[in-house]
Amino acid sequence: MLIAPATAAECPRRAAAPDARLAGLLEQANRPDAPLQSAQLTPALARDGLAGLTHSLCAPGPDIAQVRQATLPGADGPIALRLYDPAPAEASLPICLYLHGGGHMAGSIAVYDPICRRLAMQAQCRVLALEYRLAPEHPYPQGLKDCAQALAALPAWLAAQGLALPGGLAGGLTVAGDSAGGALTASLAALAQQRAELRFARQILIYPSLDYTMALPSIEENASGYLLDARRIRWYFEQYFQSAQPPQRRAASPLHMPATAALPPTLLFTAGFCPLRDEGYAYAQQLQAQGVPCTHWHLPGMIHAFMNMQALVPDACDAVYQRMGQFMRA
């Protein structure tokens, strides 16, 4: 069955049931003895779970003409970066800084290698994957600080590689992220309203985490049974914020940060059975109220993290990559 993204206005927020191709995965994940059902959540379990899911359901990506390791300067040490360049001789390729998901606790350049390879090839863009620090070892705002420092350092690094963006970051850079990476992307966009050195051309958010208060209905509607559940989200946030109180969590939420017309044009993807679904809808409405161009594509039969499940829903994943490429060239 072909899954084609539909605009949010064209389809219900949730299908009658998740895509049938996800049934076996969900049945296995929901067994009482499954690792994700463990009463004792740990950072190692979260990291191994995301890595294992991606390794088993997202086969190694395509060969890329050039893949290079690099570092950007950070106040607390070098920040690792990996460049995926599908056409080194082509000067006009879009450039995308990609921030991986994982609840601010899991994920890495290595785990997301197949996703970044597919993005580079299918969207025909240069992808820069960033290794920001993770909780609980590095709680809020250290990961966000890494992303902001890397973003500010990027123009000089790109120029040194012969990849300077016409007009600087604001003239051409796309920042994209899924889940927690979407939270970081939207947080950078909010900060950039006041910090010129952080302004970038456009943002892409894939089932983003935008409200650390967990207040919207989809958190309860999709609270359990669809891989990412409300209990784990709450635990992720406890590890990420640690001593931060609820008012601080609200202030750190992109959905509750000040929004102006200075936010960048946005491409947003949501999934019907994702607990974070309604945060994406609310953010899209917020942008539209400010006159910020926002294209919202909704996949009513998908679950959170479906981009890490290429083997099960390849058409849905490919559609997202292709929309990303179109958006970066629009």
Question: What positions carry a catalytic annotation?
Answer: 179
C-alpha 75 chain-centroid distance? 24
Question: What pairing do the DSSP bridges indicate for beta strands 79-85 and 66-72?
Answer: antiparallel
Cα dihedral sign for 138, 140, 145, 151?
A: positive
- Dmax (CA) for the chain in angstroms is 54
Looking at the DSSP bridge assignments, the partners of residue 204 are 176, 267
Query: Residues 175, 99: contact at Cβ < 8 Å?
Result: yes
Side chain identity at residue 71, one-letter code: T
